[in-house]
Structure 1
Amino acid sequence: MPTAVASLPTILFLHGFAESREVWTEFTRPFPAGYRLLAPNLLGHGTNLAAVPDFSMEAQARYVVEYLEEKNAAGPVLVVGHSMGGYVALALAERFPDRLAGLALINSTALADTDEKRANREKNIGFVERHGVGKFMESFVRPLFAPANRDRMPEARDWLEEIGKATPAATITGALRGMAARPERTAVLREAKFPVLLVAGKHDVAVHLEDAVAQAALAPVAHALFLEGSGHQAYLEQPTETRRAVLALAGLVFGG
């Protein structure tokens, strides 16, 4: 790795559940060349298919630290996490706060699962075990988009389904259990010594807008973007606005 590249301010992108690093390709294409962009496949996802004994958010965070070390990303980085990637980012911030220059949570939350949501994850695990990943993804992806986008964006929807269908069943069930077991991490936001951005969609069925509004007020230095036309996939549904907010945060934390 050339020293000049390794020394660039780094933005780390963490994908969501049943996704892969590929979801960030188009989103990050317009980013300025002055940033170093990193996007790992989280444990069990994409091409990162070695056996995974632990799908907890803490284990994923430890893997992210190892990944950063492998990439010679020595200084604090701006971490951008979508959905489950945000849960991993919060675990990373809790355990390794000095690794973060800033934190952007896209359609994610520092709250733990409610009892109802944990029960729904168990139902999803049972469905995958009975019917397989393919059937699960056919019903899982569509509601993640805002109602107006479900038929307007068939290519994006089909693409996410295909990424999900390529994800091993052990990863799907393990990640569901890992998300269900994660603790509340609102203290990470309240005690953050770095700027925080929350991006939320009005029609997000997974992370309710009112919860995002409440959390946006927790961090000492906080910014928020509330999107009228998005569900749970803001980086696909309203990429221009989401990208602009992330780049504004990058300019703040890196002085660009």
Structure 2
Amino acid sequence: MTNPSLSYTQTGSGPALVFLHGFCESKDLWTDFTKPLGHEFRVICLDLPGHGESPVPQDFSMESQARHVHETLKKLDIDSCLLVGHSMGGYVALAFAQAFPEMIYGLCLFHSSALPDSQEKKESRNKTIEFVEKNGVQKLMDTLIAPLFAESNQKSCKEAIKKMQDIGKATKEATVVGCLQAMRDRQDRTAVLQKSQVPVLFIAGKEDPAVPLEATLQQCHLPEDSTVHFLGHVGHMGMFERTTLTRAALVQFAESLSPANTQKYRSTNSF
């Protein structure tokens, strides 16, 4: 059965930049962050399955979500893009890169990781599922969002925290539980980084509680061509905590790439 298209926004023209949000987020995560990019790039922000305005699927696995992304991009006539994934969106981006490597000319893991969940993290996911089934999504959002920001930024980012809480509270329980299970069970995709045909950008917060600095250090050397930006006093939400720095890092990376100049790179590296 054909997957339904995902909800999206689209602005600008030029090389395609595709943004994937994280768990209990939506395409609105990127609204302010991407506003200045439209004069230089074709910017597409997607609602992943079950999030925002996209329909709830039967399968929340990273592979299935990547297929939804693929179908939507094909319907938008996008042959190649720089794929940017925040948190869970990075897990989906890696699954996409594995399944459809010909459709990306660059990859950005924005506070994300190719590593699978540790046993401790899996147990934490299970406890969160139990909490949601007992107390509901709204209760989870009251405690989940603020700690994703570095403690020193929580006061200045109060509006962003409220925005993300509201987006999270609008997420259906089936999506929350389904994504928690899918993240818990996702595979190790460090081999995707090792075999990457395209440059990879890592944006990492030094105070990230969800993707610890040590996890980024474990994998940032794996791609043949990688760029890493470590940001002090930043947690898991750099697009709000250090908007200018994270945007500049992404733009600089994007400007160094194009579908044309990566063709030579592809021809000398097998996936």
1:215 paired residue among 203, 216, 219: 219
Give the AA of the match of 1:183. Q
1:113-132 aligned within 5 A: 113-132=117-136
Q: Which runs of 5+ in 2 are unaligned?
A: 1-10, 262-271
* Cα offset, 1:214, TM superposition: 2.5
Q: What is the CA-CA distance between 1:6 and the residue it aligns to?
A: 9.8
Alpha-carbon deviation of 1:8? 2.7
Q: Judge which range, 241-250 or 82-91, deviates more.
A: 241-250
Determine whether 1:55 maps to 2:60: yes
Q: TM-score, normalised by structure 1?
A: 0.94
For residues 1-256 of structure 1, the aligned pairs below 5 Å read: 8-48=14-54, 50-73=55-78, 75-254=79-258
Residues 184-229 of structure 1, C-alpha deviation per residue, up to 9 Å, x if partnerless?
1011111111010001001111101011122111110000000002
- Contact 2:148-2:235 at 8 Å conserved across structures: yes
Helix, strand or coil at the partner of 1:79: strand
Shift of 1:7: 7.5
Q: Are the aligned partners of 1:6 and 1:72 in contact in 2 as well (CA < 8 Å)?
A: no
Identity of paired residues, percent? Answer: 45
> Which runs of 5 or more structure 1 residues have no equivalent in the other structure?
none
Question: What letter matches 2:169 in structure 1?
Answer: K
TM-score by length of 2: 0.89
Q: Over residues 152-195 of structure 1, what are the superposed CA-to-partner deviations in whole Å (9 max), with x where a residue is unaligned?
A: 21111011000000000000000000111101101111111101
**SS at 1:39's partner residue?**
strand
Mapped partners of 1:51, 1:161: distance in 2: 20
Superposed displacement of residue 51, structure 1? 3.6
Alpha-carbon distance in 1 for matches of 2:242, 2:165 = 19
Q: Figure out how many residues of one structure are paired with residues of the other and give that number.
A: 249
Q: CA–CA distance in 1 between the matches of 2:208 and 2:226? A: 21
Residue 32 of structure 1: CA displacement? 4.6
Q: Structure 1: how far apart are the matches of 2:220 and 2:232?
A: 17
Separation of aligned partners in 2, 1:198 and 1:174 = 27
Aligned CA-pair RMSD = 1.3
Question: For 2:218 and 2:246, how far apart are their aligned partners in 1?
Answer: 19
Q: Report the Cα distance in structure 2 between the residues aligned to 1:227 and 1:128, rounded to whole angstroms.
A: 32
Cα pair 2:17 2:83 within 8 Å, conserved: yes
Following superposition, the deviation at residue 34 of structure 1 comes to: 2.6
How far apart in 2 are the matches of 1:215 and 1:158? 32
Distance in 1 between residues matched to 2:236 and 2:193, nearest whole Å: 21
Q: CA deviation at 1:151?
A: 2.2
Letter in 1 for 2:33: F
